[in-house]
Amino acid sequence: MMTLAEASRADANIHPLEIETIQQIMQRETGQDLTEADIRVASWSNTYRSANLRKFLRRARVHLDAENKATILQALIDVIKSDAEINVLEIDFFNQVIKALRMSPAEQQGLTT
């Protein structure tokens, strides 16, 4: 959720479609029902700032297998594409997540064993 909430704010404009996409992803992947307020609070909370998020992802990556990383990446792509407007800030955030998770090109394409 932290990664997706931060992604929704990456371009400083949280689009309602991004909120809806995050809600659907979280329900599908975790069974959690999140409110719009939950997501907005998470996206603006100091806990979820980009620098802290990158640190969190670097620590978490040792506990994530390639499939977990691919799920996070696909969910991130879904959120970024949800409002049909992709900008340089969202691309930069996406690249930061890949770097923090140390994903190989194969992992980025969902090729896992």
CATH number at residue 21: 1.10.3680.10
- Shortest CA distance to 86 belongs to which of 17, 27, 2? 17
The range of the structural domain enclosing residue 55 comes to 2-108
Give the amino acid at 5.
Answer: A
Is 12 among the domain residues? yes
- Shortest CA distance to 94 belongs to which of 107, 106, 79? 79
> What's the structural domain count of the chain?
1
Is 113 among the domain residues? no
| Stretch (H or E) spanning 28 | helix 16-30
pLDDT in tens, 63-90: 998 888 989 999 999 999 998 888 898 8
Is 104 among the domain residues? yes
Quote the pLDDT of residue 51: 63
Q: Does the pLDDT of residue 62 top 80, yes or no? A: yes
Q: Does the pLDDT of residue 49 top 90, yes or no? A: no
- Shortest CA distance to 93 belongs to which of 3, 1, 2? 3
Quote the pLDDT of residue 76: 92
pTM of the model: 0.77
Is 28 among the domain residues? yes
